[in-house]
């Protein structure tokens, strides 16, 4: 057997290799956002000669990032509010088994988390088109809510289950009705869960591509990620500009992630393994 010292060095070596693998493309994105395209061609790996911000100003105006990021933020915020208000109630009654058919309702939500988008996309699109809801951010936030709330419900359910029953009984002895019990007693206790759900749903909405590119095609309603993909054709592209746009869209999210990583990791891992 290897001596423990060598094996420890080897372990860290391999783990650091994984670190480089995960960070490599992100560093390439950051480095080349500051270089003019001719310099990217001579060497994509080198450090930029100087901090050239011209890619960023071009990216900002070409992808209309001021406007499109605001659009993304609006859809994201609406979806978070919609998911939190609807999923918390459902999670509560399912966790406490307060309705008769809680088993079949849970099974239904579980089934929709694995339903392919294509299974409901086409009638939904043409139905919305007939109703005049294409290019409508509110309509899209309802679609996101339907897609992401089963995940939110399952995650929040675990927070409600953790609350001791005695607490609820004591509160109902004091004469609070169901609604007060839920909104004044239960919701504040699960607020860490609400934060986790808000962060994860926010991340999904900010990053989402298929629904956003199908339902929000008008120039004025487009999200940042969709505007970003329109920056380049398949063959000729200003890669310096594209990387600058990528940095503007992704760096704030990465910083938020590093800052609040426990919430993100626990939430995403919990939602997909307890599913």
Question: Between residue 67 and residue 86, which ones bind other proteins under the rule CB under 8 A?
Answer: 82, 85-86
Secondary structure E strands in 66-132 = none
Q: Is 120 in the site for other proteins (CB under 8 A)?
A: yes
Q: How far apart are CA 202 and CA 163, in angstroms?
A: 26
Residue 53 or 108 having the CB closest to other proteins: 108
Neighbouring residues of 74: CB distance < 8 A, sequence distance ≥ 6: 137
Q: Is 123 in the site for other proteins (CB under 8 A)?
A: yes
DSSP class per residue in 202-270: HHHHHH--HHHHHH--STTT--HHHHHHTT--SSS--HHHHHHHHHHHHHHHHHHHHHTHHHHHHHHHH
Q: Is 260 in the site for other proteins (CB under 8 A)?
A: no
Q: How far apart are CA 10 and CA 12, in angstroms?
A: 5
Residue 17 or 162 having the CB closest to other proteins: 17
Question: Between residue 156 and residue 185, which ones bind other proteins under the rule CB under 8 A?
Answer: 178, 182
Question: Between residue 125 and residue 154, which ones bind other proteins under the rule CB under 8 A?
Answer: 125-127, 129, 142-143, 145-147, 149-150, 153
Neighbouring residues of 51: CB distance < 8 A, sequence distance ≥ 6: 34
Single out the segment in contact with other proteins by CB under 8 A; choices: 12-20, 47-55, 60-68, 163-171: 12-20
Single out the segment in contact with other proteins by CB under 8 A; choices: 55-63, 157-165, 166-174, 237-245: 237-245
Question: Between residue 190 and residue 209, which ones bind other proteins under the rule CB under 8 A?
Answer: 203, 206-207, 209
Is the separation of the CB atoms in 231 and 241 below 8 Å?
A: yes
Q: Is 273 in the site for other proteins (CB under 8 A)?
A: yes
Q: Is 3 in the site for other proteins (CB under 8 A)?
A: no
């Amino acid at each position: 057997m290897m001596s423990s010292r060598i094996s420890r060095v080897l372990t860290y070596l391999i783990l650091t290799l994984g670190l480089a693998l995960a960070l490599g493309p992100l560093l390439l994105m950051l480095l080349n956002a500051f270089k003019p395209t001719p310099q990217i061609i001579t060497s994509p790996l080198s450090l930029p000669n100087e901090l050239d911000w011209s890619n960023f100003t071009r990216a900002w105006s070409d992808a209309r990032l001021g406007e499109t990021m605001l659009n993304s933020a609006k859809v994201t915020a609406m979806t978070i509010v919609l998911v939190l208000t609807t999923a918390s109630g459902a999670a509560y009654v399912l966790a406490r088994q307060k309705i008769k058919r809680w088993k079949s309702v849970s099974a239904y939500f579980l089934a929709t988390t694995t339903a392919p988008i294509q299974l409901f996309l086409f009638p939904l699109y043409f139905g919305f088109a007939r109703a005049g809801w294409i290019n409508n951010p509110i309509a899209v936030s309802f679609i996101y809510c339907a897609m992401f709330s089963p995940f939110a419900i399952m995650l929040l359910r675990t927070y409600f289950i953790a609350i001791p029953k005695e607490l609820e009984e004591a509160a109902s002895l004091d004469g609070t009705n169901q609604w007060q019990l839920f909104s004044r007693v239960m919701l504040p206790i699960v607020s860490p869960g609400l934060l986790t759900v808000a962060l994860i749903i926010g991340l999904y909405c900010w990053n989402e591509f298929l629904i956003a590119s199908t339902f929000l095609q008008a120039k004025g309603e487009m999200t940042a990620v969709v505007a970003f993909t329109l920056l380049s054709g398949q063959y000729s592209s200003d890669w310096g500009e594209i990387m600058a746009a990528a940095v503007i869209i992704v760096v704030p999210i990465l910083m938020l992630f590093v800052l609040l990583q426990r919430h993100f990791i626990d939430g995403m891992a919990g939602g997909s393994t307890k599913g």
